[in-house]
């Protein structure tokens, strides 16, 4: 009996280590993001720079006159549609903006052009182009193509193991933490802190190995010294993922406030937990946060009622709390929701 018990101890230790190490890593990355906006004060007052006026954009020198063939539409969004395209033997993603959404195209192009924006967990930017003429003008933004699509798409069709959940969550957290970080001494020049302002599972893309990368910077803001906030509108993003202060229109137009709003939306980790096979019992069908309460197309008033007045949050299931790793993930999700964390 004694030898049996002693042999079980290393096995128990290995199991705990297997479960806890990935989620502790995730929690560390998320907590680092919190530390960024609570403690890392710059020497100058943080101000917002809406990236709306980079001037005329030259054609992408990468493409030149090579034929870029549009193959199929993969997604449609607020500012345009995303095509799978082919350039010679390589696939790319082409996001096509109509001319009326020029400001969003310019904003995304400028954010991608910021020094230091090359990172494993930020969608790889290739170039921009203007196509056609006059009334038919289209604005193209060309990036790497990832066949697995968004985290939303993947979770609709697949469940995830505990290891897969940890890999996706950690890589997404690294991308967001890097985006938020101010790096004065970056090798490519000063990389400013950037707020995404539309964090959601649809804007997290998955590579073939399930590494996550952050995408869609049409609403992003960068923070620089001595620049005013301009006409920045605080109540932007996707309603379902809006923090309470955004829904109320009570946002403080400072860097810390915008980074905190990103962290609230990053609690979309809940969607990963809801499709994870690690907990006992059946795995739920994929649902968006608050889908039971407000359906698939909530109004601003719907979300205000649920999040602000009723103070509801997506349900953290009891069976998740019985799994050591998922229980820690639930704590991380609650920290994202908690402004005083």
Active site residues: 198
Q: How far is CA 212 from its chain centroid?
A: 9
Residue 145 DSSP label: -
**Closest by Cα among 234, 251, 244, 153 to 197:** 234
| SS3 category, 295 | coil
Cα(253)–Cα(9) distance, rounded to whole angstroms? Answer: 53
- Paired tokens of 126: 């290739």
The tokens for 156 are 């609709």
d(CA 218, CA 101) in angstroms, rounded, equals: 10
Cβ count near 266 (within 10 Å): 26
d(CA 288, CA 302): 15
Buried/exposed 102-124: b ≥16 CB within 10 Å, e otherwise: bebbbbbbbbbebebbeeebbbb
The distance of Cα 269 from the centroid of its chain, to the nearest Å, equals: 10
Tokens of 186: 């970056």
For residue 226, how many other CB atoms are within 10 A of its CB? 8
CA distance 140 to 100: 13
H/E run at residue 72: strand 68-77
Starting at the edge strand that comes first in sequence, how are the strands of the sheet with 80-87 ordered? 68-77, 80-87, 90-98, 138-144, 125-131
* Phi–psi pair at 340, nearest 5 degrees: -100, 5
């Amino acid at each position: 009996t004694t030898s049996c018990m002693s042999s079980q101890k290393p096995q128990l230790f290995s199991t705990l280590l297997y479960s806890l190490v990935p989620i502790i890593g995730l929690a560390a990355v998320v907590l680092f993001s919190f530390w960024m906006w609570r403690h890392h004060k710059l020497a100058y007052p943080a101000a917002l720079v809406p990236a709306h006026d980079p001037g005329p954009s030259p054609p992408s020198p990468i493409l030149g006159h090579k034929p870029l063939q549009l193959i199929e539409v993969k997604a449609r969004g607020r500012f345009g549609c995303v095509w799978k395209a082919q350039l010679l033997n390589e696939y790319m993603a082409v996001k096509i903006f109509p001319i009326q959404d020029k400001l969003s195209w310019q904003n995304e192009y400028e954010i991608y052009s910021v020094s230091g924006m090359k990172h494993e967990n930020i969608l790889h930017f290739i170039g921009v182009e203007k196509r056609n003429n006059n009334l038919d003008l289209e604005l193209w933004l060309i990036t790497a193509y990832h066949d697995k699509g968004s985290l939303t798409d993947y979770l609709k069709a697949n469940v995830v193991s505990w290891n897969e959940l940890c890999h996706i969550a950690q890589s997404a957290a690294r991308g967001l933490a890097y985006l938020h970080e101010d790096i004065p001494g970056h090798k490519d020049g000063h990389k400013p802190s950037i707020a995404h302002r539309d964090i959601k599972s649809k804007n997290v893309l998955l590579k073939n190995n399930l590494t996550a990368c952050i995408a869609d910077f049409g609403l992003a803001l960068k923070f620089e010294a001595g620049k005013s906030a301009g006409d920045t509108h605080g109540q932007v993003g996707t309603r379902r993922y809006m923090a309470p202060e955004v829904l109320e229109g009570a946002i403080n137009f400072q860097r810390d406030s915008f980074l905190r709003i990103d962290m609230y939306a990053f609690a979309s980790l809940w969607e990963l937990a809801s499709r994870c096979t690690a907990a006992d019992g059946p795995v739920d069908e994929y649902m968006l946060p608050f889908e039971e309460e407000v359906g698939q197309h909530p109004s601003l008033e719907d979300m205000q009622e649920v999040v602000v007045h009723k103070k509801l949050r997506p349900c953290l299931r009891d069976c998740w709390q019985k799994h050591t790793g998922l229980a820690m993930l639930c704590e991380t999700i609650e920290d994202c929701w908690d402004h005083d964390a």
